[in-house]
Amino acid sequence: MVSRRLIRKNKTIDWFSEIYLQLLAERGVMPIIVPIAEATKGILDEYLKDYDGMLMMEGGDIDPQYYHENYDLTKLDEYDPLKDEIEITCLRHAFAANKPILGFCRGVQLINVLHGGKIYNDVHLEIPNPVLHINYENYDSHRHKVILEEGTPLFEWYGQKELMVNTYHHQGIKVLGKGLIPMAHAEDGLIEGVYNPAHSFLVGLQFHPERMLSEYKGNQKVFDAFTDAVKHR
């Protein structure tokens, strides 16, 4: 897991949601956090020597250079080139080593980019008639509908065709990366979940099951499936 980094009141803050730590630890998996710090680059090989899986969480926008687009960097939200560099290095290593990978929000966007896909720089500006994917007034209570694809792991975990999910993002998958299979779509067509059946375990979700654990049993099953894959490597 890689820590999140942002600027708040003109100060750099590194933090990681305790929700993820709790969900992993209660399943017998020890979380290790990779800090977003310049000095981390010099010891990143040590983090990547011995680990069993990788969880990528939310964060700021991804530099468009990684999906081969020119875009005004001043328009990006919480742009952090150091975070991009560290997370992409970690993910590339996990891909190559066939380690279990689970990504949420920015995590699924990184997964898509490293599969050769592209992302929207702003879904609300680029998608015709978009649904509301982020409510800046209340992140936690915001919900919108997603439709699950039958025959996918996501449908197996939730056992139903539609969900009302929590999202807060303005980037999203534009062109699906090679080898990825969609598992869910929003009503405006935006892909909300992917997996790669050729990988040991590789799942990316645009929504946040960790923020609505009591609403669907499938939310817990997402973490069950990931930690089972981690423990059985």
Active site residue 210: yes
The one catalytic residue among 58, 87, 105, 170: 105
What is the average pLDDT across 132-149? 92
**pLDDT higher than 80, residue 78:** no
Model confidence at 51, pLDDT cuts 50, 70, 90, reads very high
What integer pLDDT is reported at residue 183 of this predicted model?
98
Active site residue 90: no
**pLDDT higher than 80, residue 112:** yes
Q: What is the pLDDT of residues 166-187, one digit of tens each?
A: 998 989 999 999 999 999 999 9
* 4-231 classified as CATH 3.40.50.880: yes
Q: Where are the alpha helices (DSSP H) in 77-119?
A: 81-97, 106-114
Percent of the chain with pLDDT over 70: 94
Contacts of 50 (CB under 8 A, 6+ apart): none
CA distances from 90 to 33, 93, 191, 205 (A): 12, 5, 24, 18
Domain positions in the chain are 4-231
**pLDDT higher than 90, residue 139:** no
End-to-end CA distance of the chain: 18
Classify burial at 54, counting beta carbons within 10 Å of its beta carbon; exposed 0-12, middle 13-18, buried 19 or more. buried
Model confidence at 66, pLDDT cuts 50, 70, 90, reads confident
Q: Which residue has the higher pLDDT, 178 or 59?
A: 178
pTM: 0.93
Percent of the chain with pLDDT over 90: 74
Structure tokens at 100: 């279990």
What is the average pLDDT across 69-93? 85
Active site residue 78: no
Residue 203: how many other CB atoms lie within 10 Å = 26
Instruction: State the Cα torsion 90-91-95-97 to the nearest 10°.
Output: 20
Distance CA 101, CA 57 (A): 11
**pLDDT higher than 70, residue 15:** no
What integer pLDDT is reported at residue 12 of this predicted model?
67
Coil/strand/helix, residue 128: coil
Cross-strand pairs, 186: 146
What is the average pLDDT across 107-117? 96
What is the average pLDDT across 207-222? 96
> What H or E segment, with its residue span, contains residue 131?
none
Model confidence at 8, pLDDT cuts 50, 70, 90, reads low
